[in-house]
Amino acid sequence: MEENRISDRAKLLLIDNDEESAGFVRRMAKQGQYKVSIAEKGRSGMEIATGICPDVVLLDLQLPDMDGMEFIRWFRQWNSCPVLVISKKSAPADKVNALYAGADDYIMKPFCREEVEARIYTALRRRVVKNQEPCYEAEGLKIDFSRRQVTLQGTQVHFSPVEYRILECLALNSGAVVTYQMLLEKIWGPYMEYNSRILRVNMTNIRKKIEKMPMHPIYITTIPRVGYRMLESHG
């Protein structure tokens, strides 16, 4: 089950097969509080997460296809947005392990709706205050990580969610080689089979958008049979 709602507010991703949790976020979406996506399984949650780049994640640890801890560890490799665990597990060790893995909060089921709403709001507010991520800047290309916005010579350039994630990953590691396998795992998850074609197609689209000017700089260098390297940032 997946569901999307139109909202001007933050993007909320729920990964849980509990109907009570799904009903809770649906109500929030109907009230116009958030744009909501719902996944019943961890792997579908991974797929949605790489597509929408959520602003906050609500995650149950007991998923049908994987342990929620596995999702947290995977997610933290490429995204720093708040992850709020909602779980029936009450052992102190479960809470401690989730927080050490990268969760920002731990909420017990059954939960109080008003409390969860407050915790989501607080997590997002804290992120706005604390998460002043730097920009990538090199030879007229600028990537604002906090806004997920790319400009070339001052003109905004549109990228699909996947194209942006690839560009962001390369920019965050500018000057270093990012292997094909690393990109596949970070963008599509650890269960993605090796497929260089999907990377080549997206990279071709990215290059058409940022290397379209006459005498353009070579922003992305291909390292044959290894991966890609982004021009080092001067920002």
Give the pLDDT mean for 105-111.
Answer: 87
Q: What is the dihedral of CA 166, 172, 177, 178, to 10 degrees?
A: -40
Neighbours of 182 (CB within 10 A): 15
Contact 204, 196 (CB under 8 A): no
Sequence-separated (6 or more) residues with CB below 8 Å from residue 162: 50, 51, 187, 202
pLDDT band at 213 (very low <50, low <70, confident <90, very high): low
CATH architecture group of domain 135-230:
Orthogonal Bundle (1.10)
| CATH tag, 11-130 | 3.40.50.2300
Whole-number pLDDT of residue 5: 32
Give the pLDDT mean for 149-172.
Answer: 89
Does the pLDDT at position 85 exceed 90?
yes
Residues of the chain with CATH 1.10.10.10: 135-230
Give the pLDDT mean for 118-126.
Answer: 81
Residue keyed to tokens 């991966």: 227
Residues of the chain with CATH 3.40.50.2300: 11-130
How far apart CA 2 and CA 22 sit, in angstroms, is 10
